[in-house]
Structure 1
Amino acid sequence: MNECKQCGTCCRKGGPALHTSDLPLLKEADGIDITDIVTLRKGELAYDQPVGAVIPLEEEILKVKGSGGEWICKFLAQASNVCRIYKNRPLECQKLFCEDPEPLMEIYSKDRISRKDVLPAEHPVLELIEEHDRKCDPIKMSELAASAIENWDESAELQAGLREMLIFDASVRELVIEKAGLPEESMDFFFGRPMSILIKGYGIIATPSGKSFSLRKL
């Protein structure tokens, strides 16, 4: 029988993605809150553990956040290697065993949930989420960034398109925090990782400059 040694190795490689069977955990008082979740949107570059490489996502994924600016699962008490929500841990954590990956692989890409599975149909932020996904499409960002990097000195128009995405992304987050009173920690769930972070994966640094951004190659 497989028995976890509680070494914390798996938890340090990243928090779990969430599946349909995990939805009840979002309603548990001692379960998972939306402030604990980051949305990885379709087209984003993300590390795929089974593949062992950074690849563009083929679908939206909700994932438990990391801690300390890393992907180490935020629910891991690092000093003791204890999971703080062990009794209410997600499906992937139940299936994962570092010495036998097969049980996890069987469910890894099945029945994953998205933001629409979590939010009620009448949620006031859903319309903004859809607009944000249109104007800040990670696939479009990757295309603009790749073309800009090829000939940076002649890419003013492409860079302008990237700035538009960055500005809209930042302004939407500020608007929702200010007008809807939602916590800043929930923005990663509603709108995914900031575009200023995503763009680094394409070799570009975006630095806030007034109400805009200055761009430079890595």
Structure 2
Amino acid sequence: MNECKQCGTCCRKGGPALHTQDLPLLKEADGIDLTDIVTLRKGEMAYDQPQGAVLPLNEEILKIKGSGGEWTCKFFALSSQVCRIYKNRPLECQKLFCEDPEPLMEIYSKDRISRKDVLPDGHPVLELIEEHDKKCDPIKIAELAAAAVEDWTNSDKIQSDLREMLIFDASIRELVMEKAKLPEESMDFFFGRPLSILIKGYGIIATQNGKSFSLRKL
């Protein structure tokens, strides 16, 4: 019988994506909270465990956050190499076994959930999420960033467009925290990773200066 050696290698490669079967875990008092989740939006670059490569996402997914600025699953205790929610771990964690990837492969891209599966109809932030997705589309960000990096000295208009997107992204997070009294830690669920993090992956450093941003190429 295959048994996990609890070496933690899989947990260090990133938290699991969530599936329909995991929805009950989000409703339990001691289960997974929205502050534990990061939304990776369609078009974002993300690590694909079965293929062992960073690829653009074909659909939105929800993942358990990493810890300490890394992708190591936040529920993995580094000191003891133990999962702190093992008895109530998500489906991918149940199926994942490094010596036999087939069970994970069978369910990996099936029944993944998105923010709309978690938030009830009429949730006040849903409309803001749609507006944010339109104005801060990851695919568009990737295109603009690539064009800017290719010819930085002649990309003033592109850089201006990127700054406008960065300002909108930061502003909508501040608005929701202020008006809805939602914790900052939940913004990664509602709006995904900040744009300042996304464009860094394309070779651009964004530094916030009050309500604006300055950009420089890595």
TM-score range, shorter chain: over 0.9
Match of 1:30 in 2: 30
Rounded to whole Å, the distance in 1 between the matches of 2:137 and 2:206 is 17
Q: Which amino acid aligns with 2:213?
A: F
Letter of the aligned partner of 1:4 in structure 2? C
Letter in 2 for 1:36: D
RMSD: 0.7
Cα deviation for residue 122 of structure 1 reads: 1.1
**Structure 2 match to 1:64:** 64
1:11-160 matches, within 5 Å, as 11-160=11-160
Encode CA deviations 1:130-177: one digit per residue, 9 max, x unaligned.
000000000010111111111111110000110011000000000111
| Equivalent position amino acid for 2:177 in 1 | I
Q: Are positions 1:213 and 2:213 aligned together?
A: yes
My pick for the range that moved more, 44-53 or 10-19, is 44-53
CA contact (8 A) 1:18 1:92 kept: yes
> How many residue pairs end up in the alignment?
218
Letter in 2 for 1:105: M
Give me the TM-score of the superposition, normalised by structure 2.
Answer: 0.98
Deviation of 1:7 after TM superposition, in Å, equals: 1.2
Q: Judge conservation of contact 1:41–1:59 (CA < 8 Å) in 2.
A: yes
Matched with 1:9 is 9
Distance in 2, Cα, partners of 1:44 & 1:164: 19
Aligned residue in 1 for 2:174: 174
**CA contact under 8 A between 1:39 and 1:61: conserved in structure 2?**
yes
Moved more, 183-192 or 47-56: 47-56
* Superposed CA offset, 1:99-158 (max 9, x none): 111100110000000000000011000000000000000001011111111111111000
Q: Distance in 1 between matches of 2:45 and 2:76?
A: 24
Distance, in Å, in 1 between the alignment partners of 2:162 and 2:52 is 29
Separation (CA, whole Å) in 1 of partners of 2:48 and 2:25? 24
Q: Distance in 2 between matches of 1:152 and 1:7?
A: 44
- The alignment's TM-score, normalised by the length of structure 1, stands at 0.98
**Any gaps of 5 or more consecutive residues in structure 1?**
none
Question: Is the aligned partner of 1:195 residue 2:195?
Answer: yes
Shift of 1:27: 0.5
Please report how far the alpha carbon of residue 210 of structure 1 lies from its aligned counterpart in structure 2 after TM superposition. Answer: 2.3
Tell me the distance in 2 between the aligned counterparts of 1:198 and 1:97.
30
After TM superposition, where is structure 1 displaced by more than 4 Å over at least 4 residues in a row?
Answer: none
C-alpha distance in structure 2 between counterparts of 1:165 and 1:205, whole Å: 14
> How many percent of aligned residue pairs carry the same amino acid?
85
How much has 1:38 moved relative to structure 2?
A: 0.1
